[in-house]
Structure 1
């Protein structure tokens, strides 16, 4: 039988065990028959609804931790792209036909990622085994073996909970160190003197989601010019933060002596070739000449900067886009383009966490950003930056870092 002749939806529904599929926002996209039957829910009560709207914690149990533990596990999967096996959980269910009546239930969950072609997590597979009857077997006449199984299960659960707690603390410490390192390496306002700029950095949600996004602003030595750059290193945690620091410092130094942004990126690309972890790193840099009112720019695989004129016209600076920094073993000279601007224009550079959404074309995010910049273009750069983040980032935070630089020209 060929793959094309297999009805995978029918296979999914017939799977022996409870399986559901969630979006990264924790909304059900599907649930198999065992899942619906065991939880006592109809398909329309589950699919299209948020996980914790369908299955909230028992409000009558102040010590309930099922929701918190499950949410933490799912966020770990989103952050790491790795499967997460949870310890035994008590997670009560409200009886579907008796509102306000909660049933004590015990579960053994496993959460796994479904990756897209770019390696990002597109969906979450939530598989659950109910072990309530095993737990309830305690105390029944002739239930010696279940009691032994329960004791063993509790022992293993405690061991897994201890291990999960140790891992959580280690991950939290790694995040704390990575954030401190990242903040220490990002430039301060002293480096851009009197310029009307606003910079924002928002780390991703989740314990491990500190990534390699960065920005740089530097007054160039010749003329009334400013160099503005942003970049993104693939990966998470301390390694990504360290690589980020090396590339940012290299580009900052190169910009001070390079003839233009293309030459600066060319130098950094050659340097990235000998930096472990710099594979597929992207960056875009702009040289702003305030006397000539021009912007020279060059991009190494990074989303294009946006230039918003005072009258609301938006230009994507996408005429000098090249491959990521370490794309070729023998780097070629990079391309460069120049555009002009009028008084009161606004330049925005950013990383992909601001515009990319899973299962959405990137052009949708770019148009959303352009619209936000256009509507708020007359506000102060600080107000503009806050407005853009408020409109474009998900309410609960993004699963990827976000850097944003606004320059009033």
Structure 2
């Protein structure tokens, strides 16, 4: 929330903590007064300059690792979009009035991503707390010897923490790879045969640890019907992918036996109560009747599918929306609605990664989707799927998983 009348630039300058803003290429954009004071530099000496041109490592200290550690942290934050709290660092600073002479300094840094409207990391917020005086105070009368011992301990701890962080990231990377493999195995491409012309896409998040539980499903039903569904499990990682697989299979079975999409979601809701991690899952099920040219649909808290009519008009299928799975204390029948279509229409189902952006109302993304469909609706299903991903997902990649299904009716 932003309140009118507040000068946020003045708030930034008044922050008691030392904060600087950097581009993702590590060039200073701005720094508040507290940062200028602890760094003993002016704004003119910082803004527009590369961080490590202003503050290089002390060449007289062979064990100095402050620059390398800080650069690794900042570039990781820029790449992953995740904040990083660093271990205590010794990072000496050169005296401006005495070139070649360095002051021993100790810092506790935190690096935080700041996202732009497109969901990408726009700038890096670099907050530092100087603890030099605390380190010196602990040195006591034998300050030199004790400080060196403490410094060695700090470097050892910093290396140990960095090793732990590296191992954790490697473990998470392996989990992401397994989850993506599992999702790919459970989300096959539609059969090239059959009456429908369908295109499906699944795009994982660009964030290293943000593999989610999005899914899609297409099932041929007796009597010339086609069931299409998408869903989104709350949570991330391998567990969410496993829950996704259970729910997708359950809904695919339920829609073959139930009397319509609402009854299928009712059955899925009952099943989800026995699956750990399935609560608050959203899903939407659409059944296409080619003979009567109607769509029957029901939604469990999911974003509305879009029906692009042959005349170019856009209809959101939002007349049968109910809470997500497990949201009600007691089960209740879900609503179901129908819409008619003519030959040449297009049905689009999707998950929130296609339309949701950080700091933006979800309706803005939905309207962007409708506009894109209106402009490119004559493209075939495969081409249209590629166009939607190209236009709606930020150039730096989506920050949430995206599942997309397009059916030419």
Structure 1 pair 207/289, CA: closer, same or farther in 2 (3 Å)?
same
| Alignment match, 1:184 | 185
Contact 1:192 1:218 in 2 (8 A): no
Whether 1:147 and 2:148 are equivalent positions in the alignment is yes
Change in Cα spacing, 1:267 to 1:29, as seen in structure 2 (3 Å) is: farther
Q: How far did residue 29 of structure 1 move?
A: 11
1:406 counterpart SS class: strand
> What is the distance in 2 between the residues matched to 1:334 and 1:268?
11
2:300 is aligned to 300
- CA deviations 1:329-363 (Å, max 9, x no partner) are 32100000000111111111000111111221111
CA contact (8 A) 2:298 2:337 kept: yes
Tell me the TM-score normalized by structure 1. 0.77
* CA pair 76-292 structure 1, distance change in 2 beyond 3 A: same
Cα distance per residue 1:77-108 (max 9 Å; x no partner): 74xxxx64224679999xxxxxxxxxx99854
Shift of 1:244: 0.6
- In angstroms, what is the RMSD of aligned CA positions? 4.1
For 1:41 and 1:377, locate their aligned partners in 2 and report how far apart those are by CA, in whole Å: 55
Cα distance change of structure 1 residues 229 and 91 upon mapping to structure 2, 3 Å threshold = farther
Distance 2:175 2:234 in 1: 17
Q: Which runs of 5+ in 1 are unaligned?
A: 1-6, 47-52, 94-103, 115-122, 135-141
Distance 1:150 1:190, change over 3 A: same
What is the CA-CA distance between 1:19 and the residue it aligns to? 3.5
Q: What is the alpha-carbon distance in structure 2 between the residues aligned to residue 111 and residue 14 of structure 1? A: 19
CA distance in 1, matches of 2:292, 2:28: 54
2: CA distance between counterparts of 1:22 and 1:335?
Answer: 51
* 1:29/1:299 CA distance change after superposition, 3 Å: farther
Q: Secondary structure at the match of 2:191?
A: helix
Where structure 2 has 5 or more consecutive residues not aligned to the other structure, the ranges are 1-6, 58-66, 94-103, 115-122, 136-142
* 8 Å Cα contact 2:30/2:43 also seen in 1: no
Matching residue of 1:195: 196
Return the offset for 1:11: 7.8
Task: Report the TM-score, using the length of structure 2 for normalisation.
Answer: 0.77
Task: From the CA coordinates, give the structure whose radius of gyration is larger.
Answer: 2
Aligned 1:352-363 pairs, distance under 5 A: 352-363=352-363
State the shift of 1:153 in Å: 2.1
Deviates more, 1:257-266 or 1:65-74: 65-74
User: 1:300/1:92 Cα in 2 relative to 1: closer, same or farther (>3 Å)?
Assistant: farther
- Identify if the C-alpha distance between structure 1 residues 289 and 170 changes in structure 2 by more than 3 Å, giving closer, same or farther: same
> Which residue of the partner structure matches residue 63 of structure 2?
none
* Distance across 1 between alignment mates of 2:28 and 2:282: 34
Range that drifts further, 189-198 or 274-283: 189-198
Q: Partner residue of 2:327?
A: 327
Residues 105, 188 of structure 1: alpha-carbon distance in 2 compared, 3 angstrom cutoff: farther
Evaluate the alpha carbon distance shift between residue 205 and residue 298 of structure 1 in structure 2; reply closer, same or farther with a 3 A threshold: same
Q: How far apart are the structure 2 equivalents of 1:396 and 1:280?
A: 29
